[in-house]
Structure 1
Amino acid sequence: MSSHLLLGQIITFDGQPSAAAPELAARHEPHGAVLIEDGTISAVDTAQTLRNAHPEAAIVDYGDALISPGFVDTHMHYPQTRIIASWGKRLIDWLNTYTFPEEMKFGDPAYAHDVAALTLDLALQNGTTTLASYCTIHPQSVDALFTEAANRNMRIVAGKTCMDRNAPPGLCDTPQSAHDDSLALIERWHGKGRAQYAITPRFSPTSTREQLEALGALWSAYPDCLMQTHLSEQTDEIAWVKELFPNARDYLDTYETTGLLGARGIYGHAIHLEPREIDRLTETGAAIAHCPTSNTFIGSGLFDLAGLSSRGVPIGLATDTGGGSSFSMLRVMAATYEIAQLRGTALHPAQLLWLATEGGARALHLQDRIGTLAPGYEADLTILDLASKPAIAQRMSRADTIWEALFPTIMMGDDRAIRDVWVAGERVSRAAAAP
């Protein structure tokens, strides 16, 4: 049995950090250790305790660096990697000007594999070890992402994006082909290795009611799959949904009445929600993917993290690449903090770290496998250098608590703060992770 003992600072959580007293849910060990055996965390304790108990383990000493669960990105679009940071559009114009022309290229398997490999390597370079991605309507785009993730032994959630209207003809399927293609992909990939399938209607404006119903029926037949889509991202999008679905009570109702609302659903953005929609998300246990860098970059609005969290809605953080302008979950955490400040809430570093790790795992229903430093969990780990550049180092040197030491990295850190990454117990070299 191969074993590695990683030494460094560790933070563990007893539960979700509350707004009132976030530190009470967290435990900090400045001289901690994580024992990895055959791809799994087998022990978490003080460095001295585990050194004494496991003298045979190979030591990897990270000094004052923080050993964290790998970051979990709950919503992104790998086909948009090459159009990230494109200028000057809101949602609908973004799709027509940048997204749809780029997605047309993913009918070419070689192109899809190239972009999938690039996206996953950029994710690893930024400390993300699990991600949930939309693909394109092309089944080969799904095969490419799952194959490249398997090559890296990464945990992955993905699905074929389904659209049968309001998109170029080359990007439209039908209700029947969306169902049949998705079914074939479920049978090929779901539950194989570290892969999970997500049934993926892009959003209501690009699917007829017939297609949404076909995908709802598929989800009913395969309820252990996830379902991912978009919800209430921009006000003009919501107005468009009302035109397209005049009998719907609200945007969420277009999913609810077609079998696409449930506990294993992940709804991206959810910024401009009606009271009924909040009630139904709460009642069903559906999750929201909060995409703060995208929401500011495309001008969508300010997500109500505090309000929805107080209702118990599961929330994970997400890059929303390429509407989001960064592959870094550190940048996403910083933007989460900034948006919360604009809504009158100062989030604690413990809350931000939890959202980017265990919170994301819970949103993807993977909380029993990843996102936590505890025995039995898969050893997906990100090692954070808390003094990765001079501006951060000078602030960290004056810190009196772990939270004062961590917060500058959350707010100013980038890929240089990612000292190391472990995927399923295997160390990913920084050189190998770079594109």
Structure 2
Amino acid sequence: MSSVVTTTAIRGRFLDIQNTVAQARDIHDQVRYVEDGLLLIQQGKIRWFGSWVEGQAQLTKNQPVEHYPNQLIVPGFIDTHIHFPQTEMVGAYGEQLLEWLNTYTFPTEIKFKDKSYADQIAHFFVNELLKNGTTTALVFCTIHPQSVDALFEAAERHQMRLIAGKVMMDRHAPEALMDTAESAYNDSKALIEKWHGKGRNLYAITPRFAPTSTPEQLACAGQLKTEYPDVYVHTHLSENKNEIAWVKDLFPEQKGYLDVYHHYGLTGQKSVFAHCVHLEEHEWDCMHATESAIAFCPTSNLFLGSGLFPLQKTWEKNVKVGLGTDIGAGTSFCQLQTLNEAYKVQQLQGDKLSAFESLYHATLGGAKALDLEDKLGNFNVGKEADFVVLNLHATALQKLRQERAKNIEDALFALFTMGDDRNIQATYIYGNKAYEQSN
């Protein structure tokens, strides 16, 4: 006896980007706006998408339809760089990167040796992602394997697609936060076997950054990547000028910061490097040649005074880029707030960031950066049904502004400029409503 496959039907205004693009100017041609649309979902995936008029024939008799007539439905937001253990230390005062790590980050991460504590923060963290419309994230844990277990267990309750990994760190850190090259290899290997590809969970080999790993540990990270070519690599790169100088002192035999990772086999199609604020020309070329990706983290770069990321350069060099909140140096879980700051970072460099390009980076572009554009990022049939229902009138000021919007692009830009978690009416994960704002 075959089980009945249930269909979920969502009606409303839909907006997405249909295909990944090579240049920002091409995004406008790929924008798909359906004023009155229908999304049909079966077993977590999109079965049909189009206009309500065309789609009614697809509905069975008495099919319930969730209708959002006044909202805007977009693909789920994708966060390409965030630290779940730093959730509790957002807004830590007064330091730049290296001092900030020693003063705030390391003491906080020591707490995650306790699995029950890690469980508590992981539960809070996943709920904050959902509350902010983030449906997929690439996440740093701590050096403790149990921190990875805690996060994936919390994500599994919602069938949420997360990529995460145990931090590898065997020098220049408190003793309580250091592993060894051998233990990092063994722990990471066990976690890959346990979690990678289980449900929607994916694993990332995670050296914190080059200064906190010995050459031996980076070699072990490269060995893991060779043994498990399908897993990700997630680390930091060229965030701060003092950090870059430190790397050059520690690795004088390499041409530059990125060359350290490249030497140990850590660049590639599933490698994501956070920040990249101060890349040299040859490093941009290496990023392109290896199909590595960048996580652009504007609120963090501004908060720590790291610098202004040259987003236009990613288009010039054809380098994949996604958007990262970088909690807790970043100051908001919300991609709307992150895009607000991203726009300002570009303005300070004499560049523009359009509403549609912003949407691209937060959705399909982020999926491309994570090598998941075949699964996520828009409403194409066959993709996983992760999406967000947005209330554009969350405040009196937003309502006033939206009533005067000239078109959908203007409305979207106002949302990205003024929006926050109050605009997230509902978040759907794998076709199921995982969060709904209470009135």
Task: Classify the secondary structure of the residue corresponding to 2:172.
Answer: coil
By how many angstroms is 1:48 displaced? Answer: 1.9
Of 20, 24, 29 in structure 1, the residue corresponding to residue 29 of structure 2 is: 24
For the 8 Å contact 1:66–1:385, the answer to whether it is kept is: yes
Question: Percent of aligned positions with the same letter in both sequences?
Answer: 44
Give the SS at the match of 2:273. Answer: strand
Q: What SS does the corresponding residue of 2:363 show, helix, strand or coil? A: helix
- Partner residue, 1:11: 15
Alignment of 1:207-356 (within 5 A): 207-356=213-362
Is 1:148–2:132 an aligned residue pair?
no
Match of 1:39 in 2: 44
Aligned partners of 2:426 and 2:437 also within 8 Å: no
Q: Which is worse superposed, 99-108 or 26-35?
A: 26-35
Pair 1:206-2:212 in alignment: yes
Q: Give the letter for the 1:288 counterpart.
A: I
Structure 2: give runs of 5+ residues left out of the alignment: none
Q: Distance in 2 between matches of 1:266 and 1:20?
A: 24
Indicate yes or no: 2:404 matched with 1:394.
no
| Cα shift at 1:310 | 2.1
Look up the SS of the partner of 2:25 in the other structure: coil
The one-letter amino acid paired with 2:253 is N
- Determine helix, strand or coil for the equivalent of 2:82: strand
Runs of 4+ in structure 1 over 4 Å off:
none
| TM-score normalised over the length of structure 1 | 0.97
The aligned residue for residue 196 of structure 1 is: 202
Counterpart amino acid of residue 107 in structure 1: K
Q: 1:12 deviation in Å?
A: 3.1
Contact 1:309–1:315 (CA under 8 A) maintained in structure 2: no
Between 204-213 and 389-398, report the one with greater CA deviation.
Answer: 389-398
User: 2:55 maps to what in 1?
Assistant: 50
Contact 1:3/1:58 (<8 A) preserved = no
Aligned length: 433
Residue 431 of structure 1: CA displacement? 5.6
The AA in structure 2 aligned to 1:428 is A
- CA displacement, residues 88-147 of structure 1 (integer Å, 9 cap, x when unaligned): 111011110110001000000000000011000000000001111111110000111011
Task: State the one-letter code of the partner of 2:45.
Answer: T
CA distance in 2, matches of 1:83, 1:30: 41
**1:430 aligned onto 2:436:** yes
RMSD: 1.4
Instruction: Answer yes or no: is the 8 Å Cα contact 1:30–1:64 preserved in 2.
Output: no
Q: How many Å apart are 1:19 and its aligned residue? A: 3.1
Match of 2:91 in 1: 85
| More divergent stretch after superposition (323-332 vs 22-31) | 22-31
Q: Paired residue for 2:6?
A: 2
Q: CA deviation at 1:394?
A: 0.9
Q: Give the conservation status (yes or no) of the 8 Å contact 2:364–2:378.
A: yes
CA offset digits 1:413-435 (Å, max 9, x no partner): 01110011111111124269x9x
The amino acid across from 2:197 in the alignment is: G
Q: Secondary structure of the residue that 2:255 maps to in structure 1?
A: coil
Deviation of 1:10 (Å): 1.3
TM-score with structure 2 setting the length: 0.96
Structure 1 stretches lacking a partner, 5+ long: none
C-alpha contact 2:17 2:27 (8 A) present in aligned 1: no
Partner of 2:113: 107
Q: Does 1:65 align with 2:71?
A: yes
